[in-house]
């Protein structure tokens, strides 16, 4: 007589001798189904770490046109992207982590596109094969050396490479696009145009060199796209950053990497790639001069600048070939400073048009002082009638004084004005002295991209770090530094100027701690 297993004996004790065979058969069926699902429907059992969960929620909510997941190596961004695609194509497979509207009922064309670097295509295909339910899709090479064309019921999507011509991306109407690693700008634009009938895009990437244009286009939180009828439409963008510690068993949420292994991995990275590979940051921002500048803290919505509540300083940095830069800095009674307006323009009709455009903005403010680049007061052989640009603007009602040229000191003034100290709760111990209205996009861009000049090439490690900034794309930074170096202050508006002016309204004052 065969010896009974413990499971069989437990079942016999539970249901009795007469029902044991049927109960054991049901138990075997349950076990076989579980094994089948583990082997063939792995996406049912995917569990994201905390940052990947945040990414899945952003995509599935349908709130964002583009979700940008800039993640360090090892975070699991490609696996997360593959599971997002799996739950679009096969809804209901993993309701624990994909219980969001777009995964329940995808409202856009059921056509998708996955694009990556040529060397990363095998990893993409492997991830799809791992997480897609076996036997429920068909994948063919379609003339490539990898599985390019994928079909599952009414769904169809293709896998493409960044090495392909941008024109190859301009045919089919799509419902979603997934870029794994940063795309080129031309391919990105071609794919955005394929979403005109409605859809979304998500990008999972380690932001190494060459990804800077994505930062400029997407980090503002929205982007402008062209609708079907040619109208310009603002679409929301979500940016999620994940460092490798977010995948740590000890320090992350549902992490999978040992902390000791993470430390060894980080130690092996080249210094110039460490910010991207270990912390998920954009590599092109390495070497930033204003490291404290943070859009979440320093960039604020515009507030009304009433004449009695603010003194305004106007700075101009003119150029013979580049656009002219004009910046307006407001100071309130507490000494808090705000970049409130900017003008970045190349006037086709010369100085008269420039003066007119400046006045259109300046007439809204109580201008305390006007400062200009010292070069605009020099008369050269090309100046007509022997007059400098400063002379001609003065004749047009805009009297400027020469601004200081102490650039290093000006940069330090900006650094000091941006500085802040916060408690772990988020409350300020020391609030910034300087804020920027979110309408001043060129100023924001320059503050983020103003970098130290670095040595390059094989001999770079033989030199000490350079002590100067890159002399490029720094026009508004230069204006701002020149304004701060003179220590701009608030002055009361004389009472006799009240007539005809907007009166002070305390509700218009900006609380820098808000």
Q: Residue 38 above 70 pLDDT?
A: no
The token pair that represents 507 in the structure block: 């509700």
Q: What is the mean pLDDT of residues 26-52?
A: 75
CB-CB contact of 510 with 303 (8 Å): yes
Span 284-310, pLDDT tens digits? 666 788 888 988 899 999 999 999 999
Q: What is the mean pLDDT of residues 88-104?
A: 95
Domains (range + CATH), the chain: 44-285 (3.40.50.300), 287-514 (3.30.420.280)
Span 390-404, pLDDT tens digits? 999 999 999 999 999
pLDDT in the model for residue 16:
61
Helices then strands, each counted (H, E), the chain: 16, 18
CA 108/CA 178 separation, integer angstroms? 15
Q: Residue 460 above 80 pLDDT?
A: no
Q: Residue 30 above 80 pLDDT?
A: no
CA 127/CA 129 separation, integer angstroms? 5
Q: Residue 494 above 80 pLDDT?
A: yes
Question: In Å, what is the CA distance from 149 to each residue of 57, 81, 90, 173?
Answer: 27, 18, 17, 15
Q: Distance between alpha carbon 213 and the CA centroid of its chain, in Å? A: 10
Q: What is the mean pLDDT of residues 165-193?
A: 93
The residue among 414, 406, 408, 420 whose CA lies nearest residue 290 is 414
pLDDT in the model for residue 461:
44
Residue scoring higher pLDDT (420 or 5) = 420
Q: Give me the helices (H) in 219-270, please.
A: 259-267
Instruction: Work out whether strand 337-345 and strand 324-331 pair parallel, antiparallel, or are unpaired.
Output: antiparallel
Q: The pTM is what?
A: 0.65
Q: Residue 209 above 90 pLDDT?
A: no
Span 249-273, pLDDT tens digits? 999 999 999 999 999 999 988 877 8
Mean pLDDT of all residues belonging to the chain: 86
């Amino acid at each position: 007589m065969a010896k009974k297993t413990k499971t069989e004996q437990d079942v016999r004790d539970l249901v009795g001798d007469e029902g044991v065979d049927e109960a054991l058969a049901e138990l075997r069926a349950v076990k076989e189904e579980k094994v089948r699902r583990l082997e063939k429907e792995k996406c049912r059992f995917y569990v994201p770490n905390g940052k990947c969960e945040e990414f899945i929620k952003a995509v599935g909510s349908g709130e964002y046109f583009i979700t940008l997941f800039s993640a360090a190596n090892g975070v699991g961004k490609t696996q997360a992207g593959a599971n997002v695609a799996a739950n679009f194509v096969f809804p209901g497979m993993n309701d624990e982590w994909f219980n969001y509207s777009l995964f329940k009922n995808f409202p856009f064309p059921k056509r998708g596109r996955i694009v990556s670097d040529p060397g990363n295509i095998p990893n993409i295909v492997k991830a799809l094969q791992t997480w897609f339910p076996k036997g429920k899709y068909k994948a063919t090479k379609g003339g490539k050396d990898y599985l390019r064309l994928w079909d599952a019921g009414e769904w169809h999507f293709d896998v493409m490479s960044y090495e392909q011509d941008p024109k190859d991306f301009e045919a089919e109407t799509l419902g979603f696009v997934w870029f794994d690693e940063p795309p080129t700008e031309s391919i990105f634009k071609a794919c955005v145009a394929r979403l005109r009938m409605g859809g979304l895009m998500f990008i999972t990437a380690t932001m190494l060199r060459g990804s800077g244009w994505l930062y400029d286009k997407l980090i503002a939180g929205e982007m402008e796209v062209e609708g079907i009828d040619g109208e310009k439409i603002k679409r929301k963008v979500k940016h999620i950053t994940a460092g490798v510690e977010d995948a740590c068993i000890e320090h992350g949420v549902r992490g999978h990497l040992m902390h000791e292994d993470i430390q060894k991995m980080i130690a092996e990275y080249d210094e110039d790639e460490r910010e991207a590979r270990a912390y998920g940051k954009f590599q092109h921002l390495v070497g930033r001069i204003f490291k404290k500048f943070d859009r979440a803290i320093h960039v604020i919505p515009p507030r009304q600048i009433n004449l009695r509540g603010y003194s305004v300083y106007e700075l101009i940095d003119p150029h013979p070939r580049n656009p002219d830069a004009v910046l307006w800095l407001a100071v309130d009674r507490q000494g808090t400073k705000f970049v409130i307006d900017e003008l970045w323009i190349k006037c086709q009709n010369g100085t008269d048009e420039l003066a007119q455009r400046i006045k259109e903005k300046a007439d809204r403010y109580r201008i305390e002082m006007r400062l200009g680049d010292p070069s605009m007061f020099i008369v050269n052989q090309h100046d007509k009638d022997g007059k400098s640009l400063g002379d001609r603007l003065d004749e047009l009602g805009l009297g400027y004084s020469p601004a200081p040229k102490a650039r290093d000191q000006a940069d330090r003034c900006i650094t000091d004005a941006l500085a802040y100290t916060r408690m772990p709760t988020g409350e300020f111990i020391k609030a910034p002295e300087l804020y920027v209205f979110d309408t001043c996009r060129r100023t924001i861009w320059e503050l983020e991209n103003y970098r130290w000049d670095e040595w390059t090439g094989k001999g770079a490690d033989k030199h000490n770090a350079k002590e100067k900034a890159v002399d490029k794309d720094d026009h508004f930074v230069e204006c701002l530094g020149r304004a701060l170096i003179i220590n701009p202050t608030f002055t009361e508006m004389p009472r006799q100027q009240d007539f005809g002016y907007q009166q002070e309204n305390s509700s218009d004052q900006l609380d820098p701690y808000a």
